[in-house]
Amino acid sequence: MSVRDLPRESLDGWAAAAGRELPSVRLERRIDRLALQLQTVRSARQRGELFALITRLKADRRLEVQIETEAWKLSVVESEADQRAAFEAMQRLIAQRTPERVREMEREQGLG
């Protein structure tokens, strides 16, 4: 099962049932805000910096969607082997988060 096979509303519903918003949704809103800001910036240097940030955030978002998918699978699969595989995949993906992303998440949670 791949990320593309999962209906997005299943992930959103799963997160809503858990009483939280998905990190990928927060990243998507931030990317949208920065894209709007990019349209108003005149300085080439600032445009370059914003574009680089948007590019990094898009990569972070793709990774977060993969992590969320594995977490969702972990909550719906029934066999112990499938649960173990989803958990291990989720752990491998979490280990791929950049230090910048980890700091951002800590700030969002009030830990940093």
Residue 1 included in any domain: no
Establish if 61 belongs to a structural domain. yes
As a whole number of Å, the end-to-end CA separation of the chain is: 35
> Is there a domain that residue 30 lies in?
yes
pLDDT of residue 2: 47
User: pLDDT of 24-67, one tens digit each?
Assistant: 989 999 999 999 999 999 999 999 999 999 999 999 999 999 99
Number of domains the chain is built from: 1
DSSP 54-88: HHHHHHHHHHHHHHHHHHHHHHH--SHHHHHHHHH
**Residue 54, in any domain of the structure:** yes
Write out the residue range of the structural domain in which residue 49 sits: 6-108
The separation between CA 20 and the C-alpha centre of its own chain, rounded to angstroms, equals 13
